[in-house]
Structure 1
């Protein structure tokens, strides 16, 4: 059976007014409907349903509120030039969400079923997908522990939800390189911790460093490893790449770095273009030395929101490292144009990354 046959759908009787495409911010407006499914130990996942978007009741003792047992994902639906609704590599998000579940001692779900449920929800609210260039419909699947219990143990009940939010273009005033502060005091994650899972606590713990960086005039934080504070991990909510002397380098996945889907796509694209790309440990000193030697050509972050975010400056240990004269690199722009082109149907999808919403 398909998800459509197993999901109860209740349409809203009070549709919301849709915002103008040029007034969209990130994550502030939500569509008319949401997907909900519950889990009970001994029964499994049950009661899959699409219902009107609304607040819900949660017991004050729910485990998620006290011990943070929750995971989430983020992806987008796009409207192509042919007015088709498509998703970009959503099966990778489903796999990663289940990996996060495993790390947080949460139950696995049927990835194929949830993907079909997601497509059904997007189809129900497809009129919310903005058509202006650079806009999209952000999709947020998440799972959280609901058992009322104050003991430190995995919950025996959970809820999965998917909500949708129309979002504007990430680069409203053009794709400009960002200034990054290298973090040497605070730590986002450690090997053996939850850094490779997409869980709420990772992001709550990163806010202090982000606040300090913004006060200093920097847009994002570049995290270093927890043990030696030498090796680069990731930038804010993005993975990071450096082009040095014609070769692209990105930190290898070590258990404390999130395995980004855009990261994976960039690596596959670079290999298809016969551009050398290496996953390995890379120190912040190596980057500053390469810049001093004139071999650091480009640096950029990768993620769902921005796709490609060029870096124009790094600040570390009282020193500034200006990259590519603060300009967008040729490779960064090519990657951005290619991935967004595939997402919107302007470029051929030679990799089978696009999934159509029926």
Structure 2
């Protein structure tokens, strides 16, 4: 289907940051995509305009009741100068699942992808070409109706903004230290843990702040009822290799259905690596370490792709995994997935979209 997207080019272009010293989420491209919603018109008026502040009434429901969702994906520049997007269809499918949970009208996914394509094409010179860098893309929806009544908004805006980002590992992939959270709760089954909504991240900040103060990179969340079953690591899903089998927590209604998680599971299946999606307790994990069967662990997400876990701390008991080094499987998954994303390796799964 052909979509009519109005385009207003910026008359003044920003100075681009040094691609060798990029800070995540600090610099933004020259343009952004916007789509409006009203009960009477549905989603309408798709347009690309110069990047600029948005004006909202102080009573807009997004400020008071947190009715908002977002996504994160990347555009990559290949060595041949092509632009690749990684599985954008999956991001917009998940965005719509988040919309449903947050009582936001579903988007036309094809229109959203077309808006994204045109936006990336217009600002493609913002995609950094230094190895390991990329253009981070942030689609999001906000409730805009000015009303303090506790009810779903009648108006919304869907926007896409973009920011060049540096390599997650400036000096190469390396393991991180993770703190197992036993007191705070981020979400529970039946809540909004499966939705990519701002409140989930606000709920994680206190625990993250305390973990950082103790010298740990991220928090490993346990379930909110029993405080014993592993869920996810901060902004990442988590995997453990135990006695040759890769185990990851099953999607239980409080864990985000990660796009990278999905890709890793499909890669492992193609390699005939045994995988189990199931509940796993922190006690079981520590017991596996004690008896020598816990071989390696890693997190998965858009930012780092694969983040090896070198240490875990639970109730003041710290354990070291794989000698604190990146595991063989973690390294292979990282090299393979980033190779596909950047067009260096073949893409037998059809994951990349060429612009």
TM range (shorter): over 0.9
- Structure 2 counterpart of 1:336: 334
- Structure 2 counterpart of 1:92: 90
Distance 1:2 1:324 in 2: 52
- Structure 1 counterpart of 2:24: 26
How many angstroms does 1:25 deviate by?
Answer: 1.1
Distance 2:280 2:340 in 1: 30
Q: What CA deviation, in whole Å up to 9, does each residue of 1:57-92 have, x standing for no partner?
A: 100000000000000000000001111101001100
- Structure 2 counterpart of 1:225: 223
1:171 maps onto 2:169 in alignment: yes
1:156 maps onto 2:151 in alignment: no
1:240 maps onto 2:276 in alignment: no
1:40 maps onto 2:33 in alignment: no
1:190 maps onto 2:205 in alignment: no
How many angstroms does 1:321 deviate by?
Answer: 1.2
1:323 maps onto 2:327 in alignment: no
How many angstroms does 1:179 deviate by?
Answer: 0.3
Q: Give the alignment's Cα RMSD to 1 decimal.
A: 0.6
5+ residue gaps, structure 2, are none
Distance 1:233 1:8 in 2: 43
TM-score (norm 1): 0.99
2:61 aligned residue (60, 63, 83): 63
- Structure 1 counterpart of 2:205: 207
How many angstroms does 1:256 deviate by?
Answer: 0.2
How many angstroms does 1:2 deviate by?
Answer: 2.2
How many angstroms does 1:314 deviate by?
Answer: 0.3
Distance 1:206 1:133 in 2: 31
How many angstroms does 1:116 deviate by?
Answer: 1.0
How many angstroms does 1:175 deviate by?
Answer: 1.1
How many angstroms does 1:228 deviate by?
Answer: 0.2
What SS does structure 2 have at the residue aligned with 1:112?
Answer: helix
2:309 aligned residue (300, 308, 311): 311
Distance 1:277 1:131 in 2: 36
5+ residue gaps, structure 1, are none
How many angstroms does 1:50 deviate by?
Answer: 0.2
- Structure 2 counterpart of 1:116: 114
Aligned pair count? 355
What SS does structure 2 have at the residue aligned with 1:174?
Answer: coil
Distance 1:278 1:140 in 2: 31
Q: What CA deviation, in whole Å up to 9, does each residue of 1:175-233 have, x standing for no partner?
A: 11000000000011100000000000000010000000000000000000000000000
- Structure 2 counterpart of 1:258: 256
Distance 1:188 1:318 in 2: 21
What SS does structure 1 have at the residue aligned with 2:136?
Answer: strand
Q: What CA deviation, in whole Å up to 9, does each residue of 1:327-353 have, x standing for no partner?
A: 000000000000000011110000000
Q: What CA deviation, in whole Å up to 9, does each residue of 1:253-296 have, x standing for no partner?
A: 00100000000000000010000011000001111100010110
1:268 maps onto 2:250 in alignment: no
Q: What CA deviation, in whole Å up to 9, does each residue of 1:108-165 have, x standing for no partner?
A: 1110111011011000000000001100000000001000000100000000000000
- Structure 2 counterpart of 1:83: 81
TM-score (norm 2): 0.99
Distance 1:221 1:67 in 2: 26
1:138 maps onto 2:136 in alignment: yes
What SS does structure 2 have at the residue aligned with 1:210?
Answer: helix
Distance 2:221 2:185 in 1: 7
Q: What CA deviation, in whole Å up to 9, does each residue of 1:297-319 have, x standing for no partner?
A: 00000000000000000000110
